[in-house]
Structure 1
Amino acid sequence: MKSEKIRFIIGGAFNSFCNVLIFNVIYFSKLTLNIDLIFYISSLLSILISIFVIRFFVFRKHFEIFALCKIFITQIFIMFIGSYLFDMFLVSVKNPSISQICSIIICAFLSFFINRFINK
């Protein structure tokens, strides 16, 4: 049970890392996309990557579709909160990378506490 919680924490950290990495790759590739669209694309891609990673490293012995659905719904909810936080930080900081990292850090903590509440 304790190792499963550790794997969830690692999965959430991996999701945040993927989100920051994908965002910065898309943002600095000079594509002419809206900054919010880049945030949504990076969030969705990182959710899909992290669900794939969680599927193979958390649920190695058996496949629990219900648990993956809980994770996916939670991450989509967190993504919309992250989008609001991203816009709020972007107005005050004026740097997309810094505001994205700040919103992802807050969303990672929020995701951790929501997952702890759901998994009790």
Structure 2
Amino acid sequence: MKPNAILAIAMFVAAAPALAETATPPAAKSANPLVAPAPAKHDAAVTLDINKASVEQLAATHGLDRKLAEAIVKGRPYKAPTELVKHKILSDAQFALVKDALVVERN
């Protein structure tokens, strides 16, 4: 083999790990591939109707967890989001975190 061909092969082999890393998008990498990434929290700019949103949608809202989301769904229907505090589903502090993301749509 010619020296230039050997050098080219050696450079390709040395660069292969770097090429493999750039092929995988950074978001797909995980420290532990067996653990799924946590779902993103709900954007506060988007509002959810507490009478129609699923448990999963409510639980994805910043300030709510699955237990609170299930309690919200169980207590339906609501006339206003403030009923979540009135019915002691959320504390005043919890409601302050989520009040901008929760609505009751009028039909």
Structure number with the higher helix fraction is 1
Same-fold call, TM cutoff 0.5: no
Greater relative CO (CA pairs within 8 A, separation 6+):
1
Give me the TM-score of the superposition, normalised by structure 2: 0.24
